[in-house]
Amino acid sequence: MLNWDLMIDSNVKGLLYVTRSVLPWLRKSQTPHLIYMSSIAGKQTYENGVVYCASKNAVEAISEGLRLELAEDYIKVTNIAPGEVETNFSEIRFKGDIERAKQVYLGFEPLQSPDIADLVRYVISVPNRVCIADVTILLRDKFLLAKS
């Protein structure tokens, strides 16, 4: 078992508890918007990632369900699913093995946190009549590598 409780507690329960706590405030807001970060892992499972992928798939389902449930309150719900962003995720996944974590990004330049921040900035800047429901942001170079 690889931190199953932590993954479920943070990615699923934490998301639900925080959402429940901010909903009263959002219902009073002029431009209410929930933005969730799932992952490409919520759309495509990978070996040895069953629970993590399941927890991120739950984020996808929560986003979709709340988008429907909160429509009458005019609360926008956006799900962003990044793939291969250079974070400390690989270090955690490989229990602090920094060399193994570096191997994940060999041969390509991964997405960076400013790439995701730019996307969030765009999502919140669209006119109030627009809701960007779901965005998957991937590294272009991975498609090039797949062709070689």
Q: Which are the catalytic amino acids?
A: 52, 56
User: Which one-letter amino acid corresponds to residue 40?
Assistant: I
Strand partners, 35: 78
Structure tokens at 44: 């495509």
The two tokens of residue 4 are 């199953």
Q: What would the two tokens of residue 92 be?
A: 């955690």
| The two three-digit tokens of residue 131, written as one number | 């809701």
For helices 15-28 and 50-69, give the axis angle rounded to 10 degrees: 20
How far is 63 from 66, CA to CA, in rounded Å? 5
* Residue of 81, 85, 41 whose CA lies nearest to 64: 81
